Amino acid sequence: MIELTGVTKTYPDGTVAVDDFSAQFPPHKTTVLLGSSGSGKTTILRMVNRMVDATSGTITIDGDDIADRDPVKLRRSIGYVMQNGGLLPHRSVLDNIATVPLLNGVSKASAHARARELMDLVGLDAKMAKRYPAQLSGGQQQRVGVARGLAADPNILLMDEPFGAVDPLVRAELQDELLRIQHTLAKTIVFVTHDVEEALRLGDQIILLAEGGHIAQRGTGPELLGAPASPFVADFLGLDRGSRALFDHDGVLVDAFGRAAGVLTQDASA
């Protein structure tokens, strides 16, 4: 369990990116931080592995305060996948995937063997192993990024808009792959996106953020869709724009395409 309590981040120029944020990211589940640009999603994510240090508040992982952990060791124990893969351009696919295990002192032979297994897991053809990032499509680069994030077999995987830079079809494919991988590996995933469809597809829990990391609403996708807490939430989810509107059929919520999206509680349907 990752727990953030009263966490604030003020950058040196005075920008309060995150103001008094508290939340839990449960183990083996995917939590999506959803919000528009500048709402503090990346800052929250980076505070979990101490790429950014919180100004105040507490962050614990399984009860241990991360402020007491060595930041470099902490960072290497947590998978991190960023937009555009963040790959090292002059290293082969295999070396990119093996980066963290090699830093952790794993032998090159076993790091590469593990990297080949991960290539298979994320759906990359083995013949790509010796290629350089520039010789891959955007979608393939993202797969390498996911494999690299998983290479040290971390319990926690932080993903910062990992599929933001690819076209919608490839994006849907990558989302499917992630769902498949997560079904097998059950990592604790924190996934940042500003894309509502992506959040609804991937999130066991969605935390919708307004500016300053203020929580507009948290819950499952159907909970947010079925009972948006404010006009801001309804607007962000696009509930006023038709396609995502929900209709009540005897207590079962269905979307505009007739797909079940949730169940109304007794009170809400009364």
DSSP, collapsed to helix, strand or coil, labels residue 185 as helix
Output the CA–CA distances (angstroms, integers) from residue 119 to 94, 184, 223, in the order listed.
8, 15, 36
Contact 83, 165 (CB under 8 A): yes
Shortest Å, Cβ 212 to ligand ATP: 8
The residue among 81, 42, 87 whose CA lies nearest residue 193 is 42
* Sites of contact with ligand ATP (CB under 6 A): 11, 13, 15, 17, 35, 37-43, 194
Nearer to ligand ATP, 38 or 222 (CB): 38
Shortest Å, Cβ 192 to ligand ATP: 6
Number of Cβ within 10 Å of residue 44's Cβ equals: 28
Calculate the dihedral angle through the C-alpha atoms of 240, 245, 251, 254, rounding to the nearest 10 degrees: -170
Nearer to ligand ATP, 27 or 212 (CB): 212
Shortest Å, Cβ 178 to ligand ATP: 19
Shortest Å, Cβ 227 to ligand ATP: 24
Contact 3, 59 (CB under 8 A): yes
Nearer to ligand ATP, 51 or 254 (CB): 51
Shortest Å, Cβ 215 to ligand ATP: 13
Nearer to ligand ATP, 13 or 68 (CB): 13
Output the CA–CA distances (angstroms, integers) from residue 230 to 40, 210, 248, in the order listed.
20, 11, 19
Contact 174, 166 (CB under 8 A): yes
Beta bridge pairs of residue 80 = 158
Nearer to ligand ATP, 95 or 160 (CB): 160
CA 206 – CA 223 distance, rounded (Å): 10
Shortest Å, Cβ 264 to ligand ATP: 32
Nearer to ligand ATP, 35 or 145 (CB): 35
